[in-house]
Amino acid sequence: MSFLLYGIVHGDRIEPREKLRFLGYPRASIMARTTRLGAIVSKLSPADADPDVARLLIYSKIIESFNHERAVIPMRYGCRFKTIGDIAEFLKREQGPFGALLDELDGRVEMSASVAFDDPRDDRATPPSRLLSSAMPTGMGYLAGRARHYSLVDQSGARREEVRKSLCAMAEGKFMRAIAEHSSHDRKSMLTIHFLVPRAGVAEFSRALLADRRRSIEVSGPWPPYNFVSTKTRALTI
């Protein structure tokens, strides 16, 4: 038998008052503890080896249910151990860094704010007399094209930085840390900033961002602090 690890919590915390149960899925609970840490664990079922979307969604909902009442270090799906004893040894070995991270996350949750905007574009048309030669540009033409490209990239980056600073300024004093990420597709950019926010200040934080009438801001959360734990922490498999 093997066990699936969902997340790490403080060792002195009790089970959630309202625990989610899903028909056909093993029950998750705090099965291993040290003086400082506890591990949210369930038995590993055969379906966990090749999970479908429904199983992954339930995995995330279980982590969220524990995060409602306490700080949780969420683990990436697939962190498995052969025995409960192995999990206890893992907690003892890592209780220093995990304990420090839990202390930082205690009483805080993740909130996300997303803003979409158009990327700058080069709308200059190619003169008809140059259409035939445009497939094989000259050296000067190539360099000019690359210069325009990087100019547009710089403009897009400057726009994202402007929006990032604006959102952080609007929420000043209402979050502890912030991490920004962006994506682009078909000349559209999406800037998302993840904020570590006091649990009791979620409503005030949301109101501060949604007060901006200049742009459309999508605010979501509260979530477990997925973006405030290291890749190593989330990806452990033993």
Note whether residue 36 is domain-resident.
Answer: yes
Can you give the pLDDT at residue 45?
77
Q: Where does the pLDDT of residue 128 fall: very low under 50, low under 70, confident under 90, or very high at 90 and above?
A: very low
What is the tally of structural domains in the chain? 2
- Say whether both 54 and 153 belong to one domain: no
Q: Give the model's pLDDT for residue 37.
A: 95
For 1, how many CA atoms within 13 A lie in the half-sphere containing its CB? 8
> Are residues 218 and 123 located together in one domain of the fold?
yes
Q: Residue 131 burial (CB < 10 Å; 0-12/13-18/19+)?
A: exposed
- At 178-211, the pLDDT tens digits run 999 988 777 778 889 999 999 999 999 999 999 8
Q: Give me the sheet containing 108-118, strands edge to edge.
A: 177-185, 188-198, 108-118, 218-223
Tell me, what CATH number does 211's domain have? 3.30.70
Same domain? 115 vs 223: yes
